[in-house]
């Protein structure tokens, strides 16, 4: 359908007929068909929910002098990007630190990122993510990880942590067993146990820490064994055996009466028909001889290295 304004020339006639696909040229149809997927893709490509568009605010912040207006713009940026900082903090949960403390550390990293960011050098998110992540990792390194575990154990710990998180994604999911974690990760059950033990290896525990909350509570120190001097006695006795066997028979008899029958030197002297002074000298000489032989033997063992043994 065509309409014309009164008095208008024929070349100014306006076609008001609605556009119909059959009336389009082939090029127009192809162009519109190709544009539709791009439009749909553009509609579905959205920035991350916690990555707001604050480029203009950052440029404004960079131009503002110190003062209330600048502080207000800075606070506005912190509020806008705080959800992203909390998301990064959530990556480090279940590592021996509360999520509230982790969020505070991440917020501190966010403030540092905002203060140091140059809007002329790219997107803020690209700068903020490593800055906040580094701040949280530094927190663990400086304040939490008092124990440094081997790299292999760290790898097992990370695999077990990820597996437990994946196995408990659905609400109401029970805590996965060692066998379930092993099947999920391809690790052995011993490796899973090692990784699970390492999950709590972030800080030392005081020997005075209470291990029980009951009336009969006890500390960690109470569970540790004390050094037993009896072991030293056994070692010394076994070391002295050969030296005692090499002593003359009378000196062995004197030592036996003195240390096993608990006889005094005077009684030993009366039994053997010698003076008490002579008994004292024999005991001292015999003990010194055995002691010197034991020490010489130990020194010889220490001096024998792999090279000496090979020669």
pLDDT in tens, 200-238: 666 566 677 676 666 666 777 777 777 777 788 888 888
**pLDDT, position 256:** 92
Q: Is residue 280 part of a domain?
A: yes
Confidence class for position 174, pLDDT limits 50, 70, 90 = confident
Does the structure show a pLDDT above 50 at 8?
A: no
Q: Is residue 14 part of a domain?
A: no
CB atoms within 10 A of CB 103: 18
**pLDDT, position 238:** 86
CATH of residue 112's domain is 1.10.1740.10
Distance in angstroms (rounded) separating the CA atoms of residues 165 and 171: 12
Q: What is the CA radius of gyration of the chain?
A: 42
Q: Is residue 42 part of a domain?
A: no
**pLDDT, position 38:** 38
**pLDDT, position 47:** 46
Task: Work out the percent of the chain whose per-residue pLDDT is above 70.
Answer: 72
Q: Is residue 129 part of a domain?
A: yes
Q: State the burial class of residue 279 (Cβ atoms within 10 Å of its Cβ: 0-12, 13-18, 19+).
A: buried
| Tens digit of each residue's pLDDT (9 = 90 or more) over 24-63 | 444 444 444 434 443 443 344 344 566 788 989 999 998 9
As for how many domains the chain has, the answer is 3
Burial track 160-193 (b if 16+ CB lie within 10 A, e otherwise): bbebbeebeeeeeeeebebeebbebbebeeebbb
Q: Which domain holds residue 190?
A: 145-168+175-205
3-state DSSP: the chain helix, strand, coil percent, rounded to 5? Answer: 65, 0, 30
| Tens digit of each residue's pLDDT (9 = 90 or more) over 223-281 | 777 777 778 888 888 888 888 889 999 999 999 999 889 999 999 999 999 999 999 99
Residue 15, beta-bridge partner list: 2
Name the domain boundary from 190, 205, 220: 205
Higher pLDDT, 130 or 97: 130
Does the structure show a pLDDT above 60 at 105?
A: yes
Mean pLDDT of the chain: 78
Task: Looking at the structure, tell me whether residues 243 and 284 fall in a common domain.
Answer: yes
Q: Is residue 38 part of a domain?
A: no
Task: Looking at the structure, tell me whether residues 199 and 236 fall in a common domain.
Answer: no
Q: Is residue 195 part of a domain?
A: yes
**Residues 68-93, mean pLDDT to the nearest whole number:** 92
Task: Looking at the structure, tell me whether residues 60 and 140 fall in a common domain.
Answer: yes
């Amino acid at each position: 359908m065509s309409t014309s304004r009164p008095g208008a020339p024929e070349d100014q006639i306006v076609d008001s007929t609605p556009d119909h696909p059959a009336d389009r040229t082939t090029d127009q149809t192809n162009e519109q068909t190709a544009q539709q997927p791009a439009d749909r893709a553009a509609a579905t490509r959205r920035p991350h929910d916690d990555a707001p568009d604050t480029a203009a605010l950052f440029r404004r912040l960079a131009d503002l002098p110190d003062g209330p207006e600048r502080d207000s713009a800075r606070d506005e940026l912190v509020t806008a990007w705080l959800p992203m900082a909390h998301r990064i903090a959530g990556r480090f949960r279940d590592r021996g630190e509360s999520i509230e403390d982790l969020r505070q550390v991440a917020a501190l990293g966010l403030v540092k990122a905002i203060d140091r960011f140059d809007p002329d050098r790219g997107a803020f998110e690209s700068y903020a993510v490593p800055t906040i992540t580094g701040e949280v990792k530094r927190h663990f390194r400086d304040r939490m990880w008092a124990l440094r575990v081997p790299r292999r154990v760290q790898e097992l710990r990370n695999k077990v942590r990820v597996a437990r998180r994946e196995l408990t994604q659905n609400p109401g999911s029970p805590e996965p067993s060692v066998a379930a974690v092993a099947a999920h990760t391809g690790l052995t059950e011993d490796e899973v146990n090692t990784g699970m033990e390492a999950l709590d290896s972030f800080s030392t525990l005081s020997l005075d820490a209470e291990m029980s909350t009951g009336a009969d509570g006890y500390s960690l120190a109470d569970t540790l064994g004390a050094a037993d001097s009896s072991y030293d006695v056994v070692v010394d006795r076994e070391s002295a055996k050969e030296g005692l066997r090499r002593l003359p028979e009378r000196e062995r008899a004197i030592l036996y009466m003195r240390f096993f029958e608990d006889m005094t030197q005077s009684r030993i002297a009366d039994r053997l028909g010698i003076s008490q002074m002579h008994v004292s000298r024999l005991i001292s000489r015999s003990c010194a001889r055995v002691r010197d032989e034991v020490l010489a033997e130990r020194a010889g063992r220490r001096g024998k290295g792999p090279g000496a043994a090979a020669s």
